[in-house]
Structure 1
Amino acid sequence: MATLEGVPATIFQTLLGGPFLTAYLLYLGAGASVVGFVLAITTFVNIAQIFIAFMIQKLRSRKWTLIIFVSLHRLLWSATGLIPFLFPKEWWVPIFIIVYFSAFMANAVGGMIWTSLISDIVPAAVRGRYFGIRNTFLNALGGILLFIGGRILDDYPGSVAFTILFSVAGFFAICNIGTFFLYPDVPFERSVENRFLPMMKRPLHDGPFMKSTIFLAGWLFLQTLIVPLYSYVMLDLLHINYESVSLLTVIQTVSMMASFYIWGNLNVKFSNKTLLFWTLPLIAASSLTWGLLAILPMMLVLVVIHILLGVGVGGFNQLAFNFIIGDTPKSERPMFIAMYSAITGLTSFLGPLLGGQIYRVMNDWPTWIQQYGFQTAVGVIMLLVALTWGRRILKET
């Protein structure tokens, strides 16, 4: 049921997100700083999940609340495709930001409820392996769609391509809403606390959880300084065509897909935190590899970058998800999820926001710094952080 629901969700999110979101923003007239800001919105709204975690304790039905907020997210995001047809060009970017922000505020509520519900549906004993299989299947689908979407952007100029992408995505958004009706409305084990502050203090007083969360938040700040802007660098600075960028994203997705099953099986033998540590050097290496653009063919280097990024980020996302739903007390899980999402959401918001501003400032700097120097410098910092603080906080012996 959850895998079936993921099929239209993957189609919808792939065609409107990733490199296609960056391409659409550039089409609307956005610059680097605006692209960074928009990419940061999706994580910034997660701060609201602390209040959402308290409010869902009052819900009679998680399923029907989930359907309402998922519907708002899917429909509002799809509606951004209508902006060029309804408004003057000077309003395109501001209106996109308003509608996109509203969509992801709804998604913050829906995401919180979905995580809470799915953690009760999938038994803990098979959770790591199940999500590995589910993610592998859905990312295979995403990889195919990335390639098709890239061809559409290259073959059909300007508004025609985005009309096609948004039309297909809008259809599958409706299909996705329908699949949520298949979810069971399983009983909800509520918190033992019924007041906001005592409930919020539960995760704050859990030392190992907070140490890991704060470290991962800092890591995500470094990661999001550069990774969300990879598409911007390739499209706007390296002048690669849409099809090539899509193909590179497919390679990243295939690498991620292959890694999900491996990480899922390793999760049977090793803890979430230990495996999270192992993902960090891989992500750092993907940033360091940008420096090879100075001496090796561009496409070869970009392929290696995206393979490393796929394996590293795929493992990181899957294991972080398992960490917050598997290493936390069931009755308090919504607030633990919310605290993790809020703290990491704040740093993941600041990362691309600052990254976009840095690229704007670097506009008059030497070309090599813009194309690969900044990413390489951040990669060095990430590797040092992984081998020092990361090893101390996450590595379990």
Structure 2
Amino acid sequence: MNLLNGITFSIGYNMIMPFVGIFAIKLGANNYEVSLINSLPALMALIGILPATIFINKAKNVFKFAYILEYITRSFYLLVALVPFMSKFRPEAVVLFVGLLNLPAIVAGMCWQSFMSDLIPEEFRGKVFADRNIWTGVLGTAAVFITGILLDRIKFPYGYQIMFFIAFLFGILDAYYYSKFHYVSHKKEASASILDSLKTMMQSKKFIYFSLASFIFTFTWMMAWPIFTIYKVDDLHANNMWMSISTIVGSVGSILTYKWWANLADRKGNGIALSISTLLIAIIPALWAKVTSLFVGAVIDFFGGMATAGYTMLSLNWLLELLPDHKEKMNYIAIYTIVTQFAAFLSPIAGTWFYEVVGYEAFMYITTVLRVLSSLLLFAVALYKTEKSVLNKGGV
């Protein structure tokens, strides 16, 4: 069920999310509205995480709560499909719905992380997640390719509406398979409050350093995201087919390297392997600085997919490795998520502002320097050794 859930999620997600930016631009979105497509979902997450965590800690059936949220999340795909029927505020509606869908999605994702840490022993996680990512990558790539072709052949906005509606149907299947996980709820312990967990966390220095370094890297990583979309569409004149090619080549790069990253993590540890991936991600903006051809951009996107595969898979593995094996696990996930989502909210807006101040090439080179520095922080965290006495207390 975990694999079927991943496959249906990937197909639905890849039929809508790679095309939301160009859809919003066609509806009249400006640069800042495009940046909000990246940042507003993070703001929604920040608003919802603490109340949701408190509720989860008190809920009798967290699993049921999680898969209901998954159904709600995928329903927003349908709302985005209906936006062209509105007479005004259409780009604003796209931004709003994409932002709002992340509120239930981030909480369902936190629950999923907790379930996976219970269901899959640490020694098997690398292989399990690598296999899942390969299958979801292959079928997600096929979904992007077919969607991109059809969007350029079907009159606007009908093609988008049809594809987004089909994405909604796959989203409902994704939620259904989520609900069929063979997860047995454990007898609930008395849950600690977030404040109590913060006090306990002071003993978990490596988790704190990991969270802070993740904040900095997420900020430097995501500040360029809206700029790539804006540059491809406005300067390189990418159509839906080229946007799908960008996603496809990145996915192929990821698929080809998931196993390699898993093997590297087994040999060197999640921390070192993840840090290597962030260093590779760091040079991508510099490679894009002088690009004037979508074909060259696609080659760089292929390399980006190879590098990003390590980060997306190993950041989860490293987080699960650092979680305490006690009742505060969900609080730790919540705090880490708040930290990274805060960076994800600020970064695209700050990046768009900075891009408009310094220009495209300077922005790309400066972003590369900032990413390299943040990558070095993650290397430092990976090399940091914890005291045995701290581990015995439940810290990490």
TM-score (norm 2): 0.90
Q: 1:120 to 1:29 in 2, by over 3 A?
A: same
* Of 217, 235, 252, the match for 2:250: 252
* Of 161, 166, 169, the match for 2:167: 169
In structure 2, the partner of 1:321 is 316
In structure 2, the partner of 1:66 is 66
Q: How does 1:227-306 map to 2 (within 5 A)?
A: 227-293=225-291, 298-306=293-301
Q: Does 1:88 align with 2:87?
A: yes
- CA RMSD in angstroms comes to 2.1
In structure 2, the partner of 1:378 is 367
Alpha-carbon contact 1:290-1:305 (below 8 Å) kept: yes
**Structure 1 stretches of 5 or more lacking a match?**
none
In structure 1, the partner of 2:345 is 349
1:29-67 deviation per Cα after TM superposition (whole angstroms, max 9, x unaligned): 211111111211223333332443332121221221112
Q: How does 1:205-244 map to 2 (within 5 A)?
A: 205-244=203-242
1:87-107 deviation per Cα after TM superposition (whole angstroms, max 9, x unaligned): 212x21333333333321111
Q: Does 1:142 align with 2:131?
A: no
* Of 118, 121, 125, the match for 2:119: 121
Alpha-carbon contact 1:80-1:96 (below 8 Å) kept: yes
Provide the secondary structure at the position in 2 that maps to 1:137: helix
Q: 1:82 to 1:379 in 2, by over 3 A?
A: same
Provide the secondary structure at the position in 2 that maps to 1:330: coil
TM-score (norm 1): 0.90
Identity of aligned pairs, percent? 22
Q: 1:148 to 1:390 in 2, by over 3 A?
A: same
Alpha-carbon contact 1:37-1:356 (below 8 Å) kept: no
Alpha-carbon contact 1:49-1:112 (below 8 Å) kept: no
1:299-319 deviation per Cα after TM superposition (whole angstroms, max 9, x unaligned): 453133212211222111111
1:221-276 deviation per Cα after TM superposition (whole angstroms, max 9, x unaligned): 01111034322210122212221221122111110111211111222222211111
In structure 2, the partner of 1:5 is 5
Q: How many residue pairs get matched?
A: 383
In structure 2, the partner of 1:78 is 78
Alpha-carbon contact 1:222-1:382 (below 8 Å) kept: yes
1:69-90 deviation per Cα after TM superposition (whole angstroms, max 9, x unaligned): 11111112321211211x212x
Q: 1:373 to 1:7 in 2, by over 3 A?
A: same
In structure 2, the partner of 1:28 is 27
In structure 2, the partner of 1:307 is 302
Letter in 2 for 1:59: A
**Structure 2 stretches of 5 or more lacking a match?**
386-396
> Counterparts of 2:204 and 2:383 in 1: how far apart (Å)?
18
Q: What is the CA distance between 1:179 and its match in structure 2?
A: 1.6
Q: What is the CA distance between 1:189 and its match in structure 2?
A: 6.7
In structure 2, the partner of 1:183 is 181
> Counterparts of 1:222 and 1:82 in 2: how far apart (Å)?
34
Provide the secondary structure at the position in 1 that maps to 2:15: helix
